[in-house]
Copies of this chain bind each other. A is one copy, B any other.
């Protein structure tokens, strides 16, 4: 057994011991507040056992191990349905960025430690009503105010803001220069006066994203995490982490085996649907697609193990997998026919086709829309030209709205 295999086996064994207290069954029927509380206890247990911050520096409370240990642990952890998603964004992007770009080291250390223990949660305040794919078009502004800054404006699609203690934020500090050049990156206290969080209900019924309003929110200049006017680069660094975190050939929907099972149970024209060419075709095509993504992911891991940089094909995962999952989920509903109306809004989108279907559009938009991903591949990988952008080089306050 390689070191990595040993590590993985040990982690798997530890995770098994967590199942009775924190697993899928233990969470059944909990209110969100109770589930969050359970989640905080689970995160603390991970920290105590040395499974929080696996690949983070020891000086910040991490374990100082590699990316491979981290993804091995994640793969094992994923099996049990633990209440860990409250910390996914927090530990995924803002806190690592804080470690890299935060100024006051003592303060940063304290925050990182509390985040790793599940005591504090961070959110990421990027998108705005008028700036989704076009991040640099954002309007929330910070004006110089004494030795610090005063923030006014509105953010949107902020996951878990309603539970967050802190957030990282990109704002416009200079409207007189082209849009990318007038942005600055800060952290903010989400409990500060003038910060208002309002939950947004999504199409499928849940509400983990928010609008966040800033009304004369005052922060010191020590909150600044980029040069003035240099915030866009830090924002992109944040998003780059996001793109490489998410790989799942099921597109965060159900495993294909569940579709095969469904097709075996259901009859079309008196025969199991699994014998119908149309169903077989979809199973085969989806399997081939997922097998391709799996192979890409495995190769990427092997390359990282060998100290190489994986190819750009890793960026296909979300684009290809979520789009396919949407249509396959529709077919599953079709297949169930008159039994297909039934809906449980608490069902998991990884286990239930209807939940998978209703949440698929969010997956095709969040974290880079299909169109943004296609543009990225076309421009960054293939060298095709950027789209026409009339706002390029134009001072932000001269762009027509």
Contact = CB atoms under 8 A, between A and B. Distances in A.
A307 interface: no
Q: Is the interface of A mostly helix, strand, loop or mixed?
A: helix
A390 B389 CA distance: 12
A281 interface: yes
A29 interface: no
A99 to B, nearest CB: 42
Interface in A346-401: 388, 390
Most buried by B among A278, A279, A388: A278
A5 interface: no
Interface in A258-305: 276-281
Contact of A278 (B278, B388, B390): B278
Contacts of A276: 277
A399 to B, nearest CB: 16
A281 to B, nearest CB: 5
Contacts of A390: 388
Could you say how many copies of this chain the assembly holds? 2
Contacts of A281: 277-278
A394 to B, nearest CB: 15
Contact of A279 (B277, B280, B388): B277
A277 B277 CA distance: 4
Nearest to A388: B388
A272 to B, nearest CB: 12
A280 B280 CA distance: 13
A285 to B, nearest CB: 11
A261 B128 CA distance: 57
A391 to B, nearest CB: 12
Contacts of A277: 276-281
A272 B280 CA distance: 17
A233 to B, nearest CB: 27
A191 B374 CA distance: 51
A278 B277 CA distance: 5
Nearest to A275: B277
A384 to B, nearest CB: 15
Interface in A126-164: none
A28 B278 CA distance: 41
A24 to B, nearest CB: 36
A276 B279 CA distance: 11
A375 to B, nearest CB: 15
A278 B278 CA distance: 5
A277 B331 CA distance: 14
A21 B390 CA distance: 63
A279 B277 CA distance: 8
Contacts of A388: 388, 390
Interface of A: 276-281, 388, 390
11 contacts: A276-B277, A277-B277, A277-B278, A277-B279, A277-B280, A277-B281, A278-B278, A278-B280, A278-B281, A388-B388, A388-B390
